[in-house]
Amino acid sequence: MDFYSTIFEVIDMRSFSNLWYWIALAVLWSTASHFVLGVPFDLALKARRQGGQRMADLEDLVRINCARLLSIAEVSGLMLTAFAGAAITILGFTGFVYDMEFSQALFLMAFPMIFVGLLNIRLARRIAADRPRGEHLVSLLRRQRFYVQLIGMMSIFAAAMWGMYQNIVIGPLGG
């Protein structure tokens, strides 16, 4: 057995019948919902409960991450948008027109993350403009996390439905 056969046996390109795809999808959405604007959500909860220095640390961390996100969006936003649009288009086209399951799987992971990115930029702009503090800041982060979790649930549901359809139509072994 050669090297490439071994690799493709371990990393099965039949994504929807592969456990690694579902683990990666779960990790993607778990991470996306835990880090709101790059800030671990448990820090926001601790800051709300304990206040004081923890709240000041949270406010500083959110301010730094918002400035960083807005700087990236301002400096590289056009190029990132063009690249993301091209990548999503290629994945969608090769996945759903040419029926490549690996592209379909990547598309179902990447496409919803565009909406998460847009929500993050929108919230970062709002925080930079309004400069919320304390409980109001925590409530904004909580609402953002809810929207990310909602997008994640819809994404996982869509991937599961499409994956089941693919496995029923094509079969689990690609035959």
Ordered per-residue pLDDT tens for the chain, 175 residues: 677 777 666 665 577 888 889 999 999 999 999 999 999 999 999 999 998 899 999 999 999 999 999 999 999 999 999 999 999 999 999 999 999 999 999 999 999 999 999 999 999 999 999 999 999 999 999 999 999 999 999 999 999 999 999 888 876 555 5
Provide the domain limits for residue 138: 17-32+42-170
Structurally, how many domains does the chain consist of? 1
Residue 175 resides in a domain: no
Tokens of 69: 């996100």
Residue 91 resides in a domain: yes
Residue 163 resides in a domain: yes
**Three-class SS of residue 5?**
helix
Predicted structure pTM score: 0.86
DSSP class of 23? H
Report the distance separating Cα 165 and Cα 6, nearest Å: 28
Residue 26 resides in a domain: yes
Residue 5 resides in a domain: no
Report the distance separating Cα 87 and Cα 171, nearest Å: 28
DSSP class of 93? I
Residue 4 resides in a domain: no
Residue 6 resides in a domain: no
Tokens of 130: 């309004």
Q: Is 43 within 8 Å of 142 (Cβ atoms)?
A: no
Residue 37 resides in a domain: no
